Amino acid sequence: MKKENVSRRRFLSGVSRAATVGGLAAGLAVGGVAGYLAGQSAAPIVTRTQTVTTERVRAVKAGYFYPGPAKDYGWSYAHDVGRKFADSAIPGSSSAYIEFVPDPEASSAIKSLLEQGADLVIACSFGYMEAMAEAARRNPDKYFVHISGYMSGAAPEPYRTTPNMSAAFAEFYQLYYLNGLAAGAVTQTGVVGYVGAFPIPEVVRHINAFVLGANVAYKRRTGKNIKAHVVWINSWVDPPKAREAAIALIEDTNADVLGYTEDTPTVLQVAEEYTTQKGRRVWSFSHYSDMTSFGPNAHLTGQIVNWGPLYAYFYRKVATNSWEPVDIWTRLGDMTPWRWRRPVEQSLAGKPEGTVYLAPLHPAIPAETVREIVQRYEEMKELIFEPFSPEGNLGEPIRDQDGKVRIGIGQRADREFLWGDKTMNFFVEYIESPFPR
C-alpha cells in the first residue's frame, strides 16, 4: 500500500490512513495512534502560570521514587523537576521522594510513601512495574502512575490492571533519530557508538532510531553505510561502567560520536576529555536534562524532557475526584500551546517546547543538516514523518542484522511494534554488535 503524506489534522479527522507494521488493518488508527492519542485526548495543555482554584479541588499528597539521583542531572533529576512543577500546579499540594531505589526494593519504597500519607504514588522506572501493579491491587483507595511501562487500568488484556493505576511516558525515539542525523553529519570516522543501560524495548528502539538517522546523514555525505557499535552496562546509573564503555567505543571501534542511556553526564564528559585534552574530536549529547555545561566543546545536541505537564495532569485527576485510568504517551508537539508543525523558520527546535524537545544544536552541524533536523522535528508533530519507516531509511525497507525485513515498503511502525518485546527485539543492519539474547 502506498503511504500518503498527510497532516496530523487530516489524519485525526479520518480522511486518510497509513499502513502499519503488525498486521493492523486499520493502520495507525489502531495501536500506534491509540496509545499516542491517549496523550492528545486526555492530557490538557499546562503552562507554568496555570492553577486550579475551584472549590471542589483538594490538595494532593504525592510520593515519587527514582532509580538514580534527584539532583544535578539526568533521568531522575528531570523527574524531580517535574515533581516540583506539579506540586505548584495544585494549591496546597506537596510530595515526598525516594532516590536510588533498585528494582527489587520497589515494594518497600511504595510502602514507605504510602505510610507518609501519599494519595498518589508515581514510580519512575520500567523495573518498578510489577510492584506498582501489586500495590494498586492492595490499595484501591490510592492512585498509582507507572512511568515507561505498559500495564494500567486502561491497557488491553492481558496487561490491564486495577482502575486506580495508569501508565505514562515522554517518548524520545523521534529525538534520537534527529540526534542520529546530527551524528551522521559530523562523524569523521563513519563510526558511532552507544552506551546502553538494559536491552529492553525502550532502549533498543532509541538505539535503532539513533543509528537509522546517523546512516541517513552519513550515506548522503559519503555513499557508504554508517557503522555502529553498542556496549551494555546493565545499569541505569553507573558512572564507572559508563566511562569504561565510552572509552572502549572510542579506542576499540574508532567511534567519534557517542549516544547513551545512563543517568549521568559521564559519556559526555568522556567525549569532552578526548576533545579538549587528548586531541581527538569526539561528540556526545544531553540526556533528559540539558548537560551542555558538562561538555561544552563536545555537546552536539540531545534529548530533554519536561515531566511537569504530565504530573500536573495526574494531580488534577486526583484533586478533582475525576480519576480514570489512562496510558499517556507523549511525543513531539504534545502538551504544547500550538500542537501543529511550524514553518522551519519559526521552529522552536533546540528550545523548550512540550514534554520532549531537542537540546541546543551545536554550530558544527552543517546548515543543510540543521534544516533537515528542524523539518523532521516539525513533521513528526503531525505524524507526517515516522523514523521507523522506509522514509526514515532513505526509502529502503528497515532490515535487521540477518537481512530480514522488519518494516517494509508502505509500512510504518505503530506503538505496539515500538513497545513490543517480540517486535522491538532486533538491531538494524548497520549495527555491528550482536543483539543480546
Could you tell me the CATH number of the domain that includes residue 197? 3.40.50.2300
By 3-state DSSP, what share of the chain in percent is helix, strand and coil, each rounded to 5? Answer: 40, 15, 45
Residues 230 and 379 occupy one common structural domain = yes
At 37 the pLDDT is 29
Number of domains in the chain: 2
**Inter-CA distances, 101 with 7, 69, 108, 151, 159, Å:** 42, 9, 9, 20, 24
Beta carbons of 146 and 269 less than 8 angstroms apart: no
Structural domain for 319, as ranges:
42-171+307-330
Residue range 112-133, pLDDT digits in tens? 999 999 999 999 999 999 999 9
Residues 210 and 249 occupy one common structural domain = yes
Query: Would 431 be classed as within a structural domain?
Result: no
Q: Which residues of the chain have pLDDT under 50?
A: 1-55
Beta carbons of 226 and 432 less than 8 angstroms apart: no
At 359 the pLDDT is 97
Residue range 353-407, pLDDT digits in tens? 999 999 999 999 999 999 999 999 999 999 999 999 999 999 999 999 999 999 9
Burial of 345: CB neighbours in 10 Å, binned 0-12, 13-18, 19+: exposed
The label of the residue with cell 563536545 reads 298
Give the pTM: 0.85
Residues 276 and 223 occupy one common structural domain = yes
Strand 191-196 to 165-170 pairing: unpaired
Beta carbons of 3 and 410 less than 8 angstroms apart: yes
Query: Would 19 be classed as within a structural domain?
Result: no
